[in-house]
Amino acid sequence: MNRIIALLVIAATLSGCEPEPPEAPADEASQVSIPFRQDGTLTIERDGDVYLTLDIEIADTDSSRSRGLMQRDGLPVDSGMWFIFDQESEQGFWMANTRMALDLIFVRSDGRIQHIARYIQPMRTETVPSNGPAQYVLEVEAGYSDSYGILEGDVIAFERNAGDESP
């Protein structure tokens, strides 16, 4: 009889308890991947001829520029993030919390490529300088510039998707 009572007490106790969910790893937030958002298109031309077109996600606010490509595992083929600053000036980028290697293409206000920083390693904390004034920066996966022959002096133009109300 004591055995039956003991089993009933144990069963009642267990039925009222739900197992605790497993603890999430401390770095779970860093494992979330943010999807690419196609905000427009960008063309690269040389000698007046367009030789490359990319889809771009536009970062034109302090918050979106600070976040950049953090928490991304990759980009779709022929795409990049296009950073727009209010005015042309020296720019500096860092890669903290960026999980993929990138090429950074610094562009002057007239659309001409000022400088290309190639194969910048993920999670790098040192600043990558523009090496001159730039109003725009294009981030693409590392090696993209070499694969497609993008050169300093090439000209970039971009267009937002219709209906995009961003400045």
166 part of a folded domain:
no
The average pLDDT across 104-108 equals 98
Residues 6+ apart with CB under 8 A from 107: 113, 114, 134, 135, 136, 137, 138, 156
What's the pLDDT tens digit per position in 60-89? Answer: 999 999 999 988 889 999 999 999 999 999
- Cβ neighbours of residue 42 under 8 Å, at least 6 residues apart? 53, 54, 55, 56, 80, 82, 138, 156, 157, 158, 159
Structural domain contains residue 72: yes
Domain at 10, CATH number? 2.60.120.1140
Q: Does pLDDT of 18 surpass 70?
A: no
Q: Which of 74, 78, 75, 83 is nearest to 51 (CA)?
A: 78
Identify the residue with better confidence: 133 or 3. 133
Closest CA to 142 of 95, 84, 97: 95
Counting the structural domains of the chain, the total is: 1
Query: Where in the sequence is the domain holding 105, given as residue range(s)?
Result: 2-160
167 is a domain residue: no
Write phi, then psi, for 28 (nearest 5 degrees): -60, -40
Residue 54 located in a structural domain: yes
The better pLDDT of the pair 97, 76 is held by 76
pLDDT score at 65: 93
Beta bridge partners of 115: 106
For residue 44, pLDDT beyond 80: yes
What integer pLDDT is reported at residue 10 of this predicted model?
39
- Choose between 167 and 130: higher pLDDT: 130
**Distance in angstroms between the alpha carbons of the first and the last residue of the chain:** 79
Residue 21 is predicted with a pLDDT of 34
pLDDT tens digits for range 116-161: 999 999 998 999 999 999 999 999 999 999 999 999 999 999 999 9
pLDDT given at position 166: 52
Specify the pLDDT at position 134: 98
| pTM value surpassing 0.85 | no
Establish if 165 belongs to a structural domain. no
